[in-house]
A and B are shown apart, each in its own frame.
Chain A
Amino acid sequence: MFSRPLYIIATVVVMLICCFFFATILQQGVPERMPIGVVDLDRTTTSRNIIHQLNSMQMVEVTKQCHSYAEARDLLQRGDIYGFIVIPHNFYNELAGLKRPKLSVYTNNTYTVAANMAYKQLLMMCNLVSGALQLQVFTGIGLTEPQAMALIQPIVVETHQIANPKSNYSIYLIGTILPGILGLIILTTTIFSIGIEMKDKTSHDWLKTANGSMPVALIGKIFPYSVIYIILGICCNTLMYKVLDFPVAGSFFAMSMSLLIYVCAMQAVAVLIIGLLPSVRTALSIGALYGMLAFSMSGFTYPAMAMLPAFRSLTWLFPLTHYYHVYVNEALLNGPVENTVLPIIYMLLALIPPLFIVKRLHYAAEHLNYPTK
């Protein structure tokens, strides 16, 4: 293990860079100042007031004032703005004359996250315009403001967000993405550290140090790595939940335990891959393919609920799925114990399949019957 210190240093450094990257890139947590456009065909104080009010909203910023729909649409297609609002000709006059002038809102939902933020703000603006008009009329006929408000908005919808009150994107994302990256590193380094013995034809010596026993050789090889990965993982969790102050609704200890088992499960998967394909060339590529798939299959970006049923069962083959379930239950929801224990048991199940390839790997290590290049 220490004969190639480069790989240990490299993995630790890569993990630290990733931690730093994801902690800083999403530091804002909630989108702000999304660029939007306004097509102001009215050009009155009312329309200027709308622009002004839009600018006072935290989430959007009017970066472009256009003269026509075509111009705004062109900017949208260039990706300069995420949405725009069209204030029609004669807007003020028609509004005052109760002629119901129409506002038009357009958003570019290719960028769904940004577009939805802009969309929400633009619709709020439209409702404000209607509301302001009503308030003016009602107070004009002698109603007090609360009375007028009851008329303008007889039903109020209050939204409470459970398990991520600030709807902070980074909390929701980093908690799974960093363990995912750790998983990738575990896969590639474990496959490499075993495969290199066969590639460099040193597997005989490797077996000899373990008195010819493959299980002992494997454990001797893997265990020191396990310690490093677990320390790395716990450091990541400490960074997230203790330093960056992400919420942990449940138990930090349970999360650390599940991380420990996740590390072992990922190592088991790696051993299985190199055992099935004892050629480091192919095994490494297959391991990478599998590792990258985990990010989409674990369901933390695209919920498993929306997957085709066949895929939903495939998600179980990825330890990251189960780790994500523990994370949701412990860090976000503080739900019932079984929702933590069951995924941990599923992860433990990953330790069984490698037992079946020990013999195959032993044979490969002895006879080097696979292409070493």
Chain B
Amino acid sequence: MSLFSNILQNASKTVRFVWRVITDTVSAVFHDGGVITIFFVASLIYPVLYGFLCWENTVKEVPIIAVDLSGSHESMRFLRKVDASPDVKIVYRCTSMTEAERLLKAQKAHGIIYFPRDYADNLKGLRGQAHVSLYCDMTTFLYMKNLLLPANMVMLEEMHQIQLKRLNSLGISDELAYELTQGAPYEETKLYNPIDGYGSFLIPPVLVLIILQTMFLGICMLRGTFYEEKQTIYQANAHHFSHAILVTIGMALAFFIIYIGLSVIDLILIPHVFKNLPHIGNPIYILRFIVPMLLATIFFSLFVSGFLHNRETGMVILLPTSLIFLFIAGVSWPQPCIPKAWRILSYFFPSTWSMHGYLHLSSMGANMLQIKKEFDALWMLTGFYFVLTVVQQYITFRKARKQ
């Protein structure tokens, strides 16, 4: 009897069997404090915590030190303008670099702006070039960005004034001088995250990871328990390959039902509640994307968890994968910089495609066509891990029967 006709003939029996697997799995989830903690507490608490954590989104008023050996009108004007920027705040004024460096090392401030003695003199003549030095504390990248940006803006502003003065003195008219100094002006547009918000950048992929990893670890925990306690789903009388298929489908549906709601909360509602998170995506598109995202991860988790014979093994061994999945995806660290071997490996993790696809939809307002690559990849992974899981289930059942 072929597999297909077998299923047809026993249609109602099949549906009832799948339904039983679903209810068994759901009830197993709700009778397990550990899994409830991972599934529901973690996936609902983390997004709220992170939302609040990155509420401010950017670093403001980073304390810096001014070392002004020039003490001139020009250097003071420069400093005043830098201090006026919301990014930094001059908290100390030192008379020597040694003193300033000592304060920097004691973490009293995170940057130094230094004017040498000849700063104003170099600007007075027609020929000189004046130097300003910035010393940035690199313990966090954000500090450097905060100091460089205002310093460069002020520098450009000051520079244009001086240029105009110098060109005038060379007999070049105001108009021509203006045209020359800005021969090819530019406008810059930072799309999707104009203030370079750290929360807007890091939290969306983390939201995806929270959904996927809580599911992954929870499933591993549950399947380990099934094995340990030799529960019915495992011991079932496996006569056919179809049995393995049905058990796999049943379990997957159970997790899918549980997680579709959680995903809508975390990936669609949370970004609307926390206004510091980008949320320009079409909710219908995101929902459509969530389907293969969940399915691929469910089958991936079912496959991996099939190798776990203890409840705790998954948690003890697989917890650090969360960090690996985050980095290997190439979201925080650009994807082209990930070594090729790791990049190829990352294509086999549903999390990689999920994070990029979700970012494109939710943070960048992409349409379905623009995330076709990610969408298709997730469906392919769904198929890939489904087949692997079924084969593995079948082998496990046969082993159990032989015993």
List residues of chain A with CB under 8 Å of any chain B CB: 6-7, 10-11, 14, 18, 21-22, 24-28, 31-35, 74, 76-79, 82, 91, 95, 98-117, 119, 123, 126, 129-130, 133-134, 137, 141, 146-147, 149-165, 167, 169, 172, 177, 180-181, 184-185, 188-189, 192, 196, 279-282, 284-286, 288-289, 291-293, 295-297, 300-303, 305-308, 311, 328-329, 332-336, 339, 371
B side interface size, CB within 8 A? 119
Q: Which residues of A contact B41 (CB under 8 A)?
A: 285, 289
Contacting residue for A78 out of B107, B192, B373, CB 8 A: B373
Q: Considering the complex, give the chain B residue whose CB is closest to the CB of A136.
A: B183
- Pairwise interchain contact A126-B360, C-beta atoms closer than 8 A: no
Q: Which residues of B contact A99 (CB under 8 A)?
A: 179
Q: Which residues of A contact B139 (CB under 8 A)?
A: 163-164, 172, 328, 332-333
- Pairwise interchain contact A295-B323, C-beta atoms closer than 8 A: yes
Which listed segment binds A: B148-156, B260-268, B389-397? Answer: B148-156
Known interface pairs A302-B53, A302-B199; 8 further A-B residue pairs with C-beta atoms within 8 A, sorted by A's residue number = A32-B337, A141-B170, A165-B138, A172-B138, A297-B53, A306-B56, A307-B56, A333-B137
> What is the bound-complex CA distance between A303 and B58, given in angstroms?
9
- Pairwise interchain contact A285-B38, C-beta atoms closer than 8 A: yes
Are A159 and B34 CB-contacts (below 8 A) given A106-B189, A109-B196, A333-B105? no
A19 to chain B minimum Cβ distance, whole angstroms, is: 11
- Pairwise interchain contact B183-A18, C-beta atoms closer than 8 A: no
Q: Provide the B46-75 mask, 1 if CB < 8 A to any CB of A, else 0.
A: 100110111111111010000000000000
- Pairwise interchain contact A303-B142, C-beta atoms closer than 8 A: yes
- Pairwise interchain contact B366-A78, C-beta atoms closer than 8 A: yes
Are A301 and B202 CB-contacts (below 8 A) given A159-B134, A334-B105? yes
- Pairwise interchain contact A113-B333, C-beta atoms closer than 8 A: yes
The 9 closest A-B pairs by CB, nearest first: A164-B138, A114-B334, A285-B37, A281-B34, A109-B193, A133-B183, A335-B105, A126-B186, A112-B201
Does B21 make an interface contact (CB < 8 A)? no
Q: Which residues of B contact A285 (CB under 8 A)?
A: 33-35, 37-38, 41-42, 221, 315
Does B162 make an interface contact (CB < 8 A)? yes
B302-354 interface (Cβ within 8 A of A):
311-313, 315-317, 319-320, 322-324, 327-328, 331-334, 336-339, 342
A sample of 8 cross-chain residue pairs with beta-carbon separation below 8 angstroms, ordered by A number, consists of: A10-B317, A14-B320, A104-B189, A123-B188, A156-B129, A161-B144, A172-B140, A285-B41
Q: Which residues of B contact A335 (CB under 8 A)?
A: 105-107
Contacting residue for B42 out of A18, A196, A289, CB 8 A: A289
Count of CB-CB pairs between chains A and B under 8 Å: 344
Are A95 and B183 CB-contacts (below 8 A) given A156-B130, A311-B52? yes
Q: Which residues of A contact B286 (CB under 8 A)?
A: none
A166 to chain B minimum Cβ distance, whole angstroms, is: 9
A252 to chain B minimum Cβ distance, whole angstroms, is: 18
Q: Considering the complex, give the chain A residue whose CB is closest to the CB of B74.
A: A155
- Pairwise interchain contact B183-A130, C-beta atoms closer than 8 A: yes
- Pairwise interchain contact B334-A281, C-beta atoms closer than 8 A: no
List residues of chain B with CB under 8 Å of any chain A CB: 32-35, 37-38, 41-42, 45-46, 49-50, 52-60, 62, 101, 104-107, 122-123, 126-145, 148, 151-152, 155, 158-159, 162-163, 166-167, 170, 176, 179-194, 196, 198-202, 204, 217, 221, 278, 311-313, 315-317, 319-320, 322-324, 327-328, 331-334, 336-339, 342, 356, 359-360, 363-366, 370-371, 373
Q: Which residues of B contact A24 (CB under 8 A)?
A: 339, 342
- Pairwise interchain contact B49-A293, C-beta atoms closer than 8 A: yes
> What is the bound-complex CA distance between A25 and B106, given in angstroms?
32
* A155, A288, A295 interface centre (most CB from chain B within 10 Å): A155
- Pairwise interchain contact B159-A154, C-beta atoms closer than 8 A: yes
> What is the bound-complex CA distance between A14 and B163, given in angstroms?
60
Contacting residue for A162 out of B136, B176, B179, CB 8 A: B136
> What is the bound-complex CA distance between A154 and B165, given in angstroms?
11
- Pairwise interchain contact A25-B201, C-beta atoms closer than 8 A: no
> What is the bound-complex CA distance between A10 and B320, given in angstroms?
12
